[in-house]
Amino acid sequence: MEIKSMALDNENKVMQFYNHDEQFIHNFFDYRNENRSYPDRLKELSGRPFLRKELSSVIRSFMEPFGISKKASTYLDELSENGVVVVGGQQAGILTGPLYSVHKAITVILLAEQKRKELSVPVIPVFWVAGEDHDLNEINHVYTENPYGIMKHKYPEKFILKLMASDATYSQKEMMAFVEDVFRQFGETEHTRTLMEEVLTAVEKEETFTGFFVRLMNGLFHEQGLLFIDSAYKPLREIEKSYFAQFISESDELAKLVVKKEAQFAELGLGKPIEAEEDAAHLFYVHETGRVLLSKKDGHFVNDSTGIRFTSEEMMRIAVEQPWLLSNNVVTRPVMQDLVFPVLAFVGGPGEIAYWALLKEAFQLFGIRMPIVVPRVSMTLVSKRAKQAMESISLTMEDVLAGKVFEVRERFIDSLQNERFERLLAETEMQLKGKYEELTEGSSASMRQLLEKNLKFHEKQLDYLRKKAEEELLIQHQTALRKYSILENELLPDGSLQERIFTPYLFMNQYGPDLVQGLLRQQIKMDGTHQIIYL
């Protein structure tokens, strides 16, 4: 592997502010993303209470079915004593979901290793699986690449209720067929059978989207001892119940703070990532129809579509006696994570950092400060064929990621025109029109109508010849044109960064199951630049 760094021209506005604007950091975050922030954060954590032994026990019980490595077991012991964590999380996508799930885990691991050395304290990598999320349409598909573009493969089973990913069980038969079809689209290599057997074994051993995701991710990062916890895991809810009670009692004030902060965010031209409302309860209730969002109305916690209506006292009783019936939303999840874990740093993508920016006062409401927020590593994997394609048509990675491939390809196609053929065809068309004009002179109205119809027929035939000539040219040069398609489809699929579209298994199928471990051995920079990995 060879690795290079580059700055992306299309970096979003929030990240530009986050990386370069001191006033923005001061207004929306508690710590700057820099080395000198870590001792301050450690000091803050040392003065806060955590249910460490209970948390370590819960994570151990969650991970046992997936396999706990010796390193992970050591980390759990450290967490029960004085360890702090670097945490990042993601939804439970099929085949790990897009590459950025793996990139996030890599960032968490590398940052934890780095801070362990620098601070001389146990720093533990943790991956928080958003198993409580119920939008299965966001996680039920995989993309593959072919010569004509990219193709979306959607898991066929329908889920009518708003089930959490941790409660949504799949048909093993349907999922196995789905996985086999996806691997067929990847194409047969020396690694295909091994990889597919591992994935199918995971399908067979699990029954929910979350379980399937964790088993694969735990396999990829077993050596590094990455800890996993599902946000919907019932024993975790037992630890969270007192914090749910705080969310319930402070729900009105929490809603006001977030609305006010989002207004400040919008004034900078950054939009409203949450669209917060003052009547939001910022909690879900797990109902028989699925996971439903609660609002506040006349002092009650309600969901009008289901007829749910709880008093504050009833909500408090649920929090204490049945906390697994409550679920966090985009506002309360980060706060809950920080109350439960001794979080040294949080690793997030651009979208997450945008909504975390609205939560500074929300954290303070519960007597804590927001952890250090670290942008996840962003990467593009460049295959050998993509590198060769770039070199042969004299394009750089900057050109490709700036979306210039289409423009360069069109210029190439224009250069292929058979000028002699086109000139003769145009001359024929002009001569034909001239002769028909002569024929119409002195002709009757019915004859002129017939001549006009006949001319249009010949013009269509000439157009047909023109199109066929263009097709023949493209066929003659299809090898050259394929190079443009490779760059567009592989490196900027659908105009998006590769990490947002493709599963890592697309590349593991080509380069082997050790691809992720190979990435972890690289000198990957965590400085906000985009990492280009030449495979």
Note whether residue 178 is domain-resident: no
**Exposed (0-12), middle (13-18) or buried (19+): which is 476, by Cβ within 10 Å?**
exposed
Note whether residue 147 is domain-resident: no
Q: Are residues 235 and 312 in the same domain?
A: no
Q: What is the pLDDT of residue 418?
A: 60
Q: What is the pLDDT of residue 457?
A: 87
Q: Are residues 485 and 355 in the same domain?
A: no
Note whether residue 91 is domain-resident: yes
Q: What is the pLDDT of residue 435?
A: 80
Q: Are residues 393 and 466 in the same domain?
A: yes
Task: Give CA–CA dist 216/206, Å, rounded.
Answer: 11
Q: Are residues 403 and 491 in the same domain?
A: yes
Q: Are residues 415 and 390 in the same domain?
A: yes
Q: What letter represents residue 194's amino acid? A: T
Task: Give CA–CA dist 109/124, Å, rounded.
Answer: 8
Q: Are residues 315 and 415 in the same domain?
A: no
Question: What is the residue range of 275's domain?
Answer: 242-328
**Overall number of domains in the chain:** 3
Question: Which of 310, 328, 346 lies at the terminal end of a domain, its last residue?
Answer: 328
Cβ neighbours of residue 76 closer than 8 Å, sequence gap 6 or more: 56, 59, 60, 68, 227
Task: Give CA–CA dist 490/502, Å, rounded.
Answer: 9
Note whether residue 512 is domain-resident: yes
Question: Contact at 8 Å (CB) between 363 and 332?
Answer: no
Q: Are residues 506 and 525 in the same domain?
A: yes
Q: What is the pLDDT of residue 475?
A: 62
Q: Are residues 11 and 87 in the same domain?
A: yes
pLDDT mean for each 10 residues of the chain (535 residues) = 87 89 96 97 96 98 98 98 97 96 98 98 97 90 90 91 89 97 96 97 97 98 98 96 97 98 97 96 92 95 95 97 96 98 97 97 98 97 95 93 89 70 74 83 85 84 72 65 90 95 97 96 91 96
Task: Give CA–CA dist 194/513, Å, rounded.
Answer: 8
Task: Give CA–CA dist 170/335, Å, rounded.
Answer: 31
Q: Are residues 287 and 366 in the same domain?
A: no
**Which 3 state secondary structure label does DSSP give 286?**
strand
Q: What is the pLDDT of residue 420?
A: 66
Note whether residue 402 is domain-resident: yes
Provide the phi-psi class of 528: left if phi over 0, else alpha when psi is between -120 and 50, else beta: left
Note whether residue 229 is domain-resident: yes
Q: Are residues 433 and 476 in the same domain?
A: yes
Q: Are residues 293 and 311 in the same domain?
A: yes
Q: Are residues 72 and 98 in the same domain?
A: yes
Q: In angstroms, what CA-CA distances link 29 with 33, 276, 359? A: 10, 19, 8
Note whether residue 511 is domain-resident: yes
Note whether residue 462 is domain-resident: yes
Q: What is the pLDDT of residue 441?
A: 86
CB atoms within 10 A of CB 280: 22
Tokens at 82, concatenated: 């004085």
CATH, residue 45: 3.40.50
